[in-house]
Structure 1
Amino acid sequence: MTPPHAQGTGTFAERLNLLFEACAPEDPDKPGRYVEYSNQQVADEINRRHGDGTISGEYIRRLRKPNGPNPTEKYLSVLADFFQVPLDAFKITGEPSQIAQKVMEEAQRFVESRRHQQREEQEAPDVAVLARAARRLSPANQARAAQYVSKLEQLEQMEHEADG
């Protein structure tokens, strides 16, 4: 089932929270982990771009809550600028444009992909580390690593048969 915000019918808060999650940068100390910007970080950047006092972290917090305030076009505009999405991606009434709808659908797919990746890494952190390291290898050394893994699988199978 497609989430409501991916269909373009979600609430403003759902769309805003989706963009916070989709735009979360990778944690430099924990590759594969993403940390959402804080409300204050977003406010600080918007204020830097558009002038002090444009928006507060507290107001952004309220906007992210269900049943939060309905923002004016001024706030919609600066948030759309920060997240680099069309203004009507936040449209509350009527249907958003096809472009805005596609942007939100893509954000949803991106978030789902990250969540899936994080679940896999939580299940097998050593495998995730190996996979990341292997991606940095040249194609020739990736093939070599695959051969080593194949040999290890054979060795493990022989050990299992010897023990059984």
Structure 2
Amino acid sequence: MVERARALADKLNHLFANATTRSGQEYSNEQVASAIVATGVTISQSYIWQLRKGKKDNPTFKHLQALAAFFGVPVSYFFDDEVTDRVDQQLEELKAEQARLSEIMDSSDAQLMALRAGELSPEGRRQVMDLLDVVHRLEQAERDTRPKE
């Protein structure tokens, strides 16, 4: 069975899905276009959208170089399916590692909060607890008002 090569749009969308901002959000076409334009390469968010939708599928080498540089992959990612597969595997491993580190950081934040609270006076600890109660109630109310999926 011969495996069909992945389309440019599929490869590009995979990069968008797996290379996220620090907050974990997917980059927008506008963010990518702005970052590339800042390097001196002219590209628009609508052109990136067209590439991602498969409406355009023959970008210039300069555009592919700029997209590869933005996402931190070799330009051969777009041409060589073996490179694509290898990079995609590395991206998946990196994403899993980032998720693991995020869990550790969340735990570390709670430990740091507890350590700092232990250094406070009894009145200071009461104030921190009052503040935590307020934040907890606000977040709980926000969760309760979200529409159910």
State the TM-score, normalized to the length of structure 1: 0.53
Describe the superposition over 1:40-59 as per-residue Cα deviations: whole angstroms up to 9, x where unpaired. Answer: 111111010125xx100100
1:35 shift after superposition:
1.0
> What is the deviation of 1:90?
0.7
Letter in 2 for 1:44: S
Task: Give the secondary-structure state (helix, strand or coil) at the position aligned to 1:49.
Answer: coil
Label 1:105 to 1:57 Cα distance change in 2 as closer, same or farther (>3 A).
Answer: same
Deviation string 1:72-94 (CA, Å, 9 cap, x unpaired) is: 21111111111111011011xxx
Q: Where does residue 86 of structure 2 map in the other structure?
A: 102
Q: 1:35 to 1:8 in 2, by over 3 A?
A: farther
1:110 CA drift (Å) = 4.5
What is the CA distance between 1:14 and its match in structure 2?
A: 1.1
> Which residue type is aligned with residue 107 of structure 2?
A
Q: For the structure 1 residues 133 and 69, does the alpha-carbon distance in structure 2 shift closer, same or farther, using more than 3 Å as the test?
A: closer
Higher relative contact order (CA 8 A, sep 6+): 1
Aligned to 1:151: none
1:134 matched residue in structure 2? 107
Query: Are positions 1:43 and 2:16 aligned together?
Result: no
Which of the numbers 42, 55, 61 marks the counterpart of 2:49? Answer: 61
Q: Distance in 1 between matches of 2:87 and 2:57?
A: 23
Percent identical residues: 32
Large movers: runs of 4+ above 3 Å:
95-98, 108-111, 135-138
Matches within 5 A, 1:11-160: 11-27=7-23, 34-51=24-41, 54-91=42-79, 95-96=80-81, 98=83, 100-110=84-94, 113=96, 133-136=106-109, 137=111
Please list every run of 5 or more consecutive structure 2 residues that lacks an aligned counterpart in the other structure.
116-149
Q: Deviations over 1:7-65 (max 9, x none)?
A: 993211111111112111142xxxxxx211110111111010125xx100100001001
User: Unaligned regions of 5+ residues in structure 1, if any?
Assistant: 1-6, 28-33, 118-127, 142-164
> Structure 1 residue 105: deviation in Å?
2.1
